[in-house]
Amino acid sequence: MTHVLHRHTRWDLPRAAGGEGIYIIDDTGKRYLDASGGAAVSCLGHGHPRVIDAIKRQADQIAFAHSGFFTSAAAEELAAHLSDRAPGNLDYVYLVSGGSEAVEAAIKLARQYFVEKGQPQRRHLIGRWQSYHGNTLGALSTGGNRWRREQFAPLLVESHHIAPCFPYRFRADDESEEDYGLRVADELETKIQELGPETVIAFVAEPVVGATSGAVPPVPGYFRRVREICDRHGVLLILDEVMCGMGRTGSLFACEQDDVVPDLLCMAKGLGAGYQPIGAVMLSAAIYDAIRDGSGMFQHGHTYMGHPIACAAALAVQHAIEEEGLLEQVRDMGAELSDRLTERLGNHRHIGDIRGRGLFMGVELVQDRASKEPFDPDAKLHLKIKQEAMARGLICYPGGGTIDGQRGDHILLAPPFIIQRPEVAELVDRLGASIDAAIAAVS
**% of the chain at pLDDT higher than 90:** 97
The answer to whether residues 274 and 311 belong to one domain is yes
Q: How confident is the model at residue 443 (pLDDT cuts 50, 70, 90)?
A: confident
Residue 423 to residue 45: CA distance in whole angstroms: 13
- State the average pLDDT for the chain: 97
Look at residue 42 and tell me if it is in a domain: yes
Is the pLDDT at 385 greater than 80, yes or no?
A: yes
Average the pLDDT over 203-227 and give the result.
97
**What pLDDT, on the 0 to 100 scale, is given for residue 10?**
81
**Are 206 and 240 in contact, with CB atoms under 8 Å apart?**
yes
pLDDT tens, position by position, 10-67: 888 999 999 999 999 999 999 999 999 999 999 999 999 999 999 999 999 999 999 9
**Are 394 and 35 in contact, with CB atoms under 8 Å apart?**
yes
The answer to whether residues 237 and 333 belong to one domain is no
Number of domains in the chain: 2
Q: How confident is the model at residue 172 (pLDDT cuts 50, 70, 90)?
A: very high
Quote the domain boundaries for residue 75: 52-323
pTM: 0.97
Residue 47 to residue 69: CA distance in whole angstroms: 33
The answer to whether residues 212 and 361 belong to one domain is no
The answer to whether residues 200 and 259 belong to one domain is yes
How many CA atoms lie less than 13 Å away from 264 in the CB half-sphere?
28
Last residue of a domain, one of 289, 323, 357: 323
Look at residue 10 and tell me if it is in a domain: no
**What pLDDT, on the 0 to 100 scale, is given for residue 1?**
76
Measured CA angle at 156 (ends 281, 136), to 5 deg: 35
The answer to whether residues 158 and 133 belong to one domain is yes
Average the pLDDT over 192-218 and give the result.
97
Look at residue 3 and tell me if it is in a domain: no
Determine which helix (DSSP H) or strand (DSSP E) holds 19, and give its type and residue range. Answer: strand 16-20
pLDDT tens, position by position, 73-107: 999 999 999 999 999 999 999 999 999 999 999 99
CATH number at residue 28: 3.90.1150.10
Q: How confident is the model at residue 6 (pLDDT cuts 50, 70, 90)?
A: confident
The answer to whether residues 32 and 89 belong to one domain is no
Residue 272 to residue 279: CA distance in whole angstroms: 8
The answer to whether residues 38 and 79 belong to one domain is no
Q: What is the dihedral of CA 258, 259, 263, 268, to 10 degrees?
A: 50
Residue 419 to residue 427: CA distance in whole angstroms: 10
Contacts of 359 (CB under 8 A, 6+ apart): 248, 249, 250, 330, 333, 334, 337, 413, 414, 415, 416, 417, 419
Residues in the chain: 443
**What pLDDT, on the 0 to 100 scale, is given for residue 179?**
98
Residue 95 to residue 301: CA distance in whole angstroms: 10
Q: What is the dihedral of CA 297, 301, 306, 310, to 10 degrees?
A: -170
Residue type, 94: Y
The answer to whether residues 333 and 389 belong to one domain is yes
pLDDT tens, position by position, 262-320: 999 999 999 999 999 999 999 999 999 999 999 999 999 999 999 999 999 999 999 99
The answer to whether residues 308 and 368 belong to one domain is no
DSSP SS3 for 239: strand
Determine which helix (DSSP H) or strand (DSSP E) holds 190, and give its type and residue range. Answer: helix 177-195
Q: Is the dihedral of CA 333, 335, 338, 342 positive or negative?
A: negative
Last residue of a domain, one of 293, 323, 353: 323
DSSP H helices, 273-307, are 285-293
Q: How confident is the model at residue 110 (pLDDT cuts 50, 70, 90)?
A: very high
Determine which helix (DSSP H) or strand (DSSP E) holds 413, and give its type and residue range. Answer: strand 409-413
CATH number at residue 289: 3.40.640.10
Look at residue 1 and tell me if it is in a domain: no
The pair phi, psi for residue 95, each rounded to 5°, is -95, 125
Q: Is the dihedral of CA 134, 137, 139, 141 positive or negative?
A: positive
Average the pLDDT over 223-252 and give the result.
98
**What pLDDT, on the 0 to 100 scale, is given for residue 5?**
85
pLDDT tens, position by position, 368-382: 999 999 999 999 999
Ranges assigned E (strand) in 195-331: 200-205, 236-240, 264-267, 279-283
Look at residue 9 and tell me if it is in a domain: no
Instruction: Point out which residues pair with 365 in neighbouring strands.
Output: 351, 409
Look at residue 7 and tell me if it is in a domain: no
Taking the CB of residue 348, how many other CB atoms lie within 10 A of it? 18
DSSP H helices, 98-176, are 99-116, 137-142, 146-150, 167-170
Last residue of a domain, one of 292, 323, 354: 323
**Are 320 and 51 in contact, with CB atoms under 8 Å apart?**
yes
* Alpha-carbon distances, residue 312 vs 322, 346, 374 (angstroms): 16, 42, 45
Look at residue 11 and tell me if it is in a domain: no
Is the pLDDT at 9 greater than 90, yes or no?
A: no
The answer to whether residues 179 and 219 belong to one domain is yes
The answer to whether residues 289 and 258 belong to one domain is yes
**What pLDDT, on the 0 to 100 scale, is given for residue 293?**
97
With CA atoms as reference, report the closest residue to 246 among 45, 29, 86: 86
The answer to whether residues 316 and 412 belong to one domain is no
Look at residue 4 and tell me if it is in a domain: no
